[in-house]
Amino acid sequence: MPPICAATWIGKSPSRAFNGVTVAPINRGAENLIRPPTGRTESPDSIISTAAAAEFRSEHLWSARIRSVGPEARQLIRRMALENPLWGQERIANELWVKLGLHVSPRTVRRYLPKPPMGRPRGDQRWSTFLKNHAQAISVTSTFRLLYVLVVIEHRRRRLIHCNVTAHPTAAWTRQQLRQALGFDTHYGYLLHDRDSIFSRELDAAVGGLGLRILKTPPRCPMANGLCERVIGTIRRECLDWLIPLSEAHLRHALRSWVEHYNRGRPHMMLGPGVPDPPAARPTATPKSCHHLRDFGSVRSKPVLGGLHHEYSLCPA
């Protein structure tokens, strides 16, 4: 089946969806598995003695001490938490595994996370980061207006193909953006979008001329294009909620920086975890253990969006 790409608008407010809850039936025979009936005689082989249980616990604790995280990795976990206040335990664990080759579970990361300082809740950006993100446009006098963002994403690799900003979205502008995103020698087979008036019949005909088949979502069903709806929420939580776009150019510059980080530096759980555009050489940890760094001093961090996020990599020795 050919790949699918989807397009949608961030400027719209999707309808509220209900969260389904699945209730599993109660197994009435579970008591017989946990508590045998009275009068039943258990064989000696099915009973674990106290000495055997104590030996098992000691071996388990010994193996846990061997797999403990080294001091270098603990320091790196604290460093990532301090440099990225928006990151949680799962994001840090994915960053360690995808970028540095360290196998550390999110629960272990939570154990070594530093406590937030008094009066500052976790997840708040620094004032210096805010100033860096607005330094280029802070001297511009602008009025507040509504801006629209067009997002085109690939379903298979979760890669953002195209992202652009406009104050006056039209069918002609959207058609031109799709031509730039998909190209004339595209290998995609389908284009999924909603029933907004921007996606006119002329636009669908032009996209069909590129060799793509148009798939429209049902009316008032944003979850039918759930991948785009999810990436819209990610853009808001990790980028737009921490910025005040002072102009169209300012918003476009911030989104392009974040899109590059999203495709090349942000781990995705649906990919293993992995990144949509992985590097040529994948980092590996020390052969003796996958919980210790080979050289802690070789870990390099690259700030994104003025330090709102960071990308970590191993420098060549």
Mean pLDDT in the chain? Answer: 76
Q: Is this model's pTM higher than 0.75 or not?
A: no
DSSP letters spanning 102-140: ----HHHHHHTPPPPPTT--TT---HHHHHHHHTTTTT-
CB 99 within 8 A of CB 313: yes
Higher pLDDT, 316 or 239: 239
Q: Is the pLDDT of residue 67 over 60?
A: no
C-alpha triplet 192, 186, 200: angle, nearest 5°: 40
Question: How is the chain split into domains, by residue range?
Answer: 4-13+144-262
Cα 276 to Cα 98, 227, 252, 257, distances in angstroms: 12, 14, 21, 16
Q: Is the pLDDT of residue 24 over 60?
A: no
Q: Is the pLDDT of residue 205 over 80?
A: yes
Mean pLDDT value of segment 285-300 = 59
* Amino acid 306: pLDDT: 84
4-13+144-262 folds as Nucleotidyltransferase; domain 5 (3.30.420)
* Helix, strand, coil share of the chain (percent; to 5): 40, 15, 45
Mean pLDDT value of segment 133-152 = 72
**What digits encode the pLDDT tens for the residues 73-101?**
898 999 999 888 889 999 999 999 888 88
At 62, is the pLDDT very low, low, confident or very high (cuts 50, 70, 90)?
A: very low
